[in-house]
Amino acid sequence: MLANFTVGMGAQATTNEAVAYTVTTSIIGGSLIVFILLILKNVAYGLGSDLEKGIIQTYFSYPLKRWRILTAKLISALGVSLLLFLGIQISALYILAPDIVLPQFGTVILTYAANLSYPLLIAAIMLLMTLILRRGGIGLVVGIVLYFAMSIISGIAFIVSFATESPLALQIISVISPSMALQQHYGGMPDILGSVWSPTLSEVLVYIGVSYVIVASLFVLGYVYFSRRLNL
């Protein structure tokens, strides 16, 4: 059955790593959008609602450090959802293909890291917008637009790279969405872009690292604003 996952991936798909990558991405598929919608709701609408109703202001009246309040909110809004998502996903992978997943567990984790980077970036942007605007509705809309816009932007990047025979457009996208680089590493479109860009694993790791530095920086900005600039 696993042979079906390797159809159309070219010569690189014959490796165990490529098979593990393909199986993992097939499981992530539709579940990722559910996870994204959940964190959009929790971060933007949940926190925004607390700001509008004065719940956060009530917390500020207690002898609590502001960063602890925000951490508690993010754990309930983002951390729990992330742990549930990963737990269910990895359990499903183990049931589906233990002989592939266990020996290539590093590839599985790398695939999740690459695919979750952009959703976490959206969450960080929504957090900042919600704190600055003190309401979650606009942040929620922006988050949804950003998520679906990436599909369009990625398609344009593929066309530009193919037309110009330059990987620059794909490399720029990979800075904020490293799943693009990982896809090309495992021969995502070998017949079209294989000769244009086939990043090494080291390059993929750099893109993933840079993307999470950006995500972490935005969350730090959110903490700074919440702790020092947010006045209710």
Question: What backbone torsions phi and psi does residue 178 show, to the nearest 5 degrees?
Answer: -65, -10
Mean per-residue pLDDT for 3-13? Answer: 40
The predicted pLDDT at position 190 comes to: 52
Kindly give, in sequence order, each residue whose CB lies less than 8 Å from that of residue 186, ignoring residues fewer than 6 positions away.
Answer: 9, 12, 13, 17, 18, 21, 22
Q: 37, 33, 35, 27: which is closest to 90 by C-alpha?
A: 27
E runs forming strands in the chain = none
* Domain limits, the chain: 10-229
Greater confidence, 229 or 27? Answer: 27
> What percentage of the chain carries pLDDT values higher than 70?
89
Tens of pLDDT, residues 150-200:
888 888 888 888 888 888 998 999 999 999 999 888 876 555 555 678 888
On average, the pLDDT of the chain sits at 83
Taking the C-alpha atoms of residue 8 and residue 59, their distance in angstroms, rounded to an integer, is 55
